[in-house]
Structures are given as C-alpha cells and as structure tokens.
Structure 1
Amino acid sequence: MNNITTFGNTIRDIRIQMKLPIRKVAAHLDIDPSTLSKIERDERSANKNMVGKLAELFKIDYEELLIAYLSDKVASDLLKEDLSEKILHAAKSRLKHYRTKELK
C-alpha cells in the first residue's frame, strides 16, 4: 500500500489479488455487494468498523489498513479546502497538545 490510492481502490485491489468474489467480501462485512462495489469505486464511504473485518478477512495488518482508511477520509474531507495544508499543520499541533494534556 505504498502507492497513493484511495481506500476503495486498495480494498478492491486486495480482493482481486486474493481472488475473492465481491459477494463473499460483502457477506463478511454484512453489506450488499452493490454497496461494496460503490465503496470500491469511491462512490460511497466505508466506515471504521469495516477496517477490522477487512484486515481479518484479507489477513493483513489492521494498523496499515486503518491508516489507509483514515488518511483517505481526512484527505477527502479537506479536498476542497483552500487552507488544507494549514489545517493539517494546526491539527498536528492540536494532537500534540491533547496528547500532552492526557498524560497529566
């Protein structure tokens, strides 16, 4: 997953590589195959609960898949923001602040 690609593309590529039919993956996620197809085509968003189920099914690292999911979500949310770089910088500072606050 080193190439920059969407979360939907990532799971589609893994599913195809593993030769899993879309209906089996959809059944594992307890969703309709048409919904999974839309997620793979980036017409619909996945949810965080799906990440663990997909990591388990695909036998891949959960953390790596979670990073792909969340980074795609953040990028998608900021796509149309002119200040996206500044927003990300501010968010990083806030994360550092909140983590320091939690440790106290």
Structure 2
Amino acid sequence: MKSLGEKLKDYRKSKGLILRKAAALLDIDQSLISKFEKNERKPTEEQIQRMADFYKIPLNELMIDWLSEKLAENLAPYDVSSQVFQFAEEKMNFYKTQANGK
C-alpha cells in the first residue's frame, strides 16, 4: 500500500513535471511539496483540493487517502484502534440518521 506522499509523487511524475514546475503551477512552495512527497508533512484540505484538480484526480479519492492517513497515524499508538474505527462508524451512522430526521 502506498502512502499519500508516494501517490502525490507518482501523480506529479505521471504528468512529466519536475518538482519546481509542479510547485509553480500549483502555487504551493516547492519545499512543501517535497515534504508532502516524503511524508514529512501533510497537506491542508485546501492543498489537497488544489492537487486533485491539478492532477485530474477525483477529489473523493484523494480526500479518502488524506483523511484515512490522518486517522491511522493518530490511532496507531493505541491498542484499541480497531475498536475505535468500528465505534466511529456506528456514531457516523447515528449522526446521519439524526441529521436526516430533523
């Protein structure tokens, strides 16, 4: 399984762009993009949206990668992480039901 950073690097390379050129076209600092691709830093939601549009990737696809990586990194140190995911899913379904019932 590839990390978000590895995928971002693959997307850039598939466009035949060097880091400097991608940074200029995305209007994101070159050092930031480099850190994203090396998994040293996470993009913001706005940057994810910009990259999805620029690389012609469905936003949902990139958002799922971004959000799931954030969750996994936050929960990895805990022994109960699998149970947290299951409970969170139940809560999301509850909140959706509540929102639809209003």
**CA deviations over 1:38-95 (Å, ceiling 9, x no partner):** 1110111111111221111111211111111111111111111111001101100110
| Distance of aligned partners of 1:101 and 1:28 in 2 relative to their CA distance in 1, 3 Å threshold | farther
TM-score (norm: length of structure 1): 0.88
3-state SS of paired residue (1:43) = coil
Separation in 1, partners of 2:45, 2:80:
26
Aligned to 2:41: 44
Q: CA RMSD in A?
A: 1.3
Extract structure 1 runs of 4+ deviating beyond 4 A: none
**Does the residue aligned with 1:19 lie in a helix, a strand or coil?**
coil
CA distance in 2, matches of 1:90, 1:32: 38
Q: Are 1:28 and 1:53, in contact at CA under 8 Å, matched by a contact in 2?
A: no
Q: Counterpart of 1:63? A: 60
Aligned length: 101
Q: Name stretches of at least 5 consecutive residues in structure 2 with no aligned partner.
A: none
Segments of 5+ residues of structure 1 without an aligned counterpart are: none
Q: Residues 1-104 of structure 1: matches in 2 within 5 Å? A: 4-104=1-101
In percent, how many aligned pairs have the same letter?
34
1:26 is paired with a residue whose SS is: helix
